[in-house]
Amino acid sequence: MLYAVIMAGGTGTRFWPLSTKSRPKQFISLDHGGKSLLRLTFERIKDTVAPQRIYVVTSAMQRDMTAKELPELSLENIFAEPVARNTAAAIGYAVVRIAREDPQSGFLVLPSDHLIEDKDKFIAAITAGAQVAAKTDSIVTLGIAPTSPSTAYGYIKKGAKHAEIGGVEVFEADEFKEKPDRATAKQYLDSGEYVWNSGMFVFKNTGFLAAMEKHLPKHHEALRKIQGSILSREEETVTVKEYYALEPISIDYGILEKAENVKMVESKFDWKDVGSWSSLEEVLDKDGDNNAAKGDNVLLGAKDNVIVSEGGVIAAVGVEGLVIVHTPKATLVCRKEDAEKVREVVEKLKEKGLEQYL
């Protein structure tokens, strides 16, 4: 049986000041019918995976918000981590809880902040991935055919072709590469041998847990203890103790880059990872001067900007290549190439004791 796990516990620091503790990025709408990123993720899969088999991993602070955003889900389908410990722990936590009830479970793992327009191609890709995972006990990652030499994503080098299912090609995943510089990214694009690492995966619980036991044994041991405590009086105590002791590590670095049995579906659907303010250039409608804008604004001689206003009007005159974001609590102005540094702004606000703006 295939289950879907949506990872929705992030705080979205790179989308400050629109993304805050009280409303993280996954709860924000980018004008796709007024629906949040989390809602869009749920609706993308609900016709393929029944809502009773869709689970969300989030934080305790965001559990009620998630339940309100996705009323189709039972509260038991929303797992609240005791503390954030990156994607290896979040995915593993969901896997051991669900596998306890269904030892033959397969999983589709999705971040909550992607935009995907070609739903039919997306479903075809995950269907092919699920079939391969079921037959081979592999971890199957969804790769995205690159359209530009992007430096915002990690890359996967394609190996030998494993199969073709319904027109979808599946390859061995030969190598995972960290986010490259532009020259290297261009080499990857020109070679035709690399795809973007989307952060979406399909696997059987047995294949995933075997890889975790080999490459992240402390995670495996802790999560098995949590699994064994479920429905007991000690469940909360054991979960908190074991979770806090875990090293924060991503599934990519902790497992995928080391595991032997990893395959990759080369996906052809239109995909956007809404990772930072500069990424909105590909999401929001643009005017004749290449400004990507949302909200009330007046733009005079302004070109190539990302401008988002919530609760006020932005007037931009003669500026170029900026990100300008205004909310009732804070305003951000930076060059587009510095958009990734918004995380540093958030840390500085914490240092200055200005957490009321977060």
Could you tell me the maximum CA-CA distance found in the chain, to the nearest angstrom?
Answer: 65
Q: What is the per-residue pLDDT for 32?
A: 66
Residue count of the chain: 358
d(CA 138, CA 2) in angstroms, rounded, equals 15
Six-digit token pair at 329?
């609590």
Residue 82: closest CA among 195, 237, 312: 237
Q: Does CATH number 3.20.20.70 belong to domain 2-273?
A: no
Instruction: Give, for all 358 residues of the chain, the pLDDT tens digit.
Output: 999 999 998 877 888 998 888 888 899 888 766 899 999 999 999 999 999 999 999 999 999 999 999 999 999 999 999 999 999 999 999 999 999 999 999 999 999 989 998 899 999 999 999 999 999 999 999 999 988 898 888 999 999 999 999 999 999 999 998 889 889 999 999 999 999 999 999 999 999 999 999 999 999 999 999 999 999 999 999 999 999 999 999 999 999 999 989 999 999 888 988 877 888 888 888 999 999 999 999 999 999 999 999 888 999 999 999 999 999 999 999 999 898 889 899 999 999 999 898 8
HSE (side-chain half, CA atoms, 13 Å) at 340: 5
Q: What is the per-residue pLDDT for 40?
A: 95
Six-digit token pair at 151?
């430096």
Q: What is the per-residue pLDDT for 11?
A: 79
Residue 59: closest CA among 113, 100, 7: 7
Q: What is the per-residue pLDDT for 265?
A: 96
Q: Rounded to 5 degrees, what are φ and ψ at 180?
A: -90, 170
Return all residues near 237 (Cβ < 8 A) that are at least 6 apart.
229
Q: What is the per-residue pLDDT for 333?
A: 96
Question: Packing angle between helix 86-101 and helix 217-229, nearest 10 degrees?
Answer: 40
**SS3 (DSSP) at 223:** helix
**H or E stretch including 132?**
helix 119-136
Query: Which residues belong to CATH 3.90.550.10 in the chain?
Result: 2-273
pTM of the full predicted structure?
0.92
Report CA 214 to chain centroid distance, whole Å: 25
Residue whose structure tokens are 């936590």: 93
**Are 212 and 170 in contact, with CB atoms under 8 Å apart?**
no
Q: What is the per-residue pLDDT for 20?
A: 87
Residue 106: closest CA among 5, 9, 251: 5
**Are 16 and 324 in contact, with CB atoms under 8 Å apart?**
no
DSSP string, 195-210: EEEEEEEEEEHHHHHH
Q: What is the per-residue pLDDT for 68?
A: 96
Residue 41: closest CA among 274, 268, 308, 202: 274
Q: What is the per-residue pLDDT for 55?
A: 98
d(CA 51, CA 250) in angstroms, rounded, equals 27
**SS3 (DSSP) at 238:** helix
**Are 121 and 128 in contact, with CB atoms under 8 Å apart?**
no
**Are 211 and 254 in contact, with CB atoms under 8 Å apart?**
no
Q: Estimate the share of the chain in helix, then strand, then coil, as percent rounded to the nearest 5.
A: 40, 30, 30
